[in-house]
């Protein structure tokens, strides 16, 4: 007997940060539970700036892109899911918390319920 699918209690305005080792299932989890436009992958951003998702020398620039996109999504009141290895993830969470705080104050975005979950 299989269990019924689990519902994730995530508000519309949330920053969900999926952190873990390569190959641990973060991307698969994200694709199963979130819309493609809600997910920002550090690998994808690395590919944008270096034409190679595995080029670790491009990580700083890739995370700059990731932070920019996440900030814009959160400022617009949109659910944002970050799919990243633990590399530089503290900056992602701090940046996201600052963006959510701006939304809560009503700076440049609609206000609403806010939740931050680190998975």
pLDDT tens-digit series, residues 77-89: 899 999 987 655 5
The answer to whether 118 touches 93, Cβ cutoff 8 Å, is yes
Q: What pLDDT band is residue 91 in, cutting at 50, 70 and 90?
A: low
Q: Of 101 and 28, which is predicted with more confidence?
A: 28
- What does pTM read for this prediction? 0.70
Pick from 91, 82, 79: which is nearest to 119 by CA? Answer: 82
pLDDT tens-digit series, residues 18-35: 887 788 899 999 999 999
């Amino acid at each position: 007997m299989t269990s019924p699918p689990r519902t994730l209690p995530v508000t519309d305005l949330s920053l969900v940060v999926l952190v873990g080792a390569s190959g641990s299932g973060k991307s698969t989890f994200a694709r199963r539970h979130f819309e493609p436009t809600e997910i920002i992958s550090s690998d994808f951003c690395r590919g944008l700036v270096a034409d190679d998702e595995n080029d670790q020398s491009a990580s700083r620039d890739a995370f700059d892109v990731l932070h920019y996109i996440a900030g814009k999504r959160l400022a617009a009141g949109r659910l944002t899911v970050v799919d990243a290895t633990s590399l530089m993830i503290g900056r992602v969470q701090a940046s996201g918390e600052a963006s959510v705080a701006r939304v809560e104050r009503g700076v440049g975005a609609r206000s609403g319920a806010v939740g931050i979950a680190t998975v």
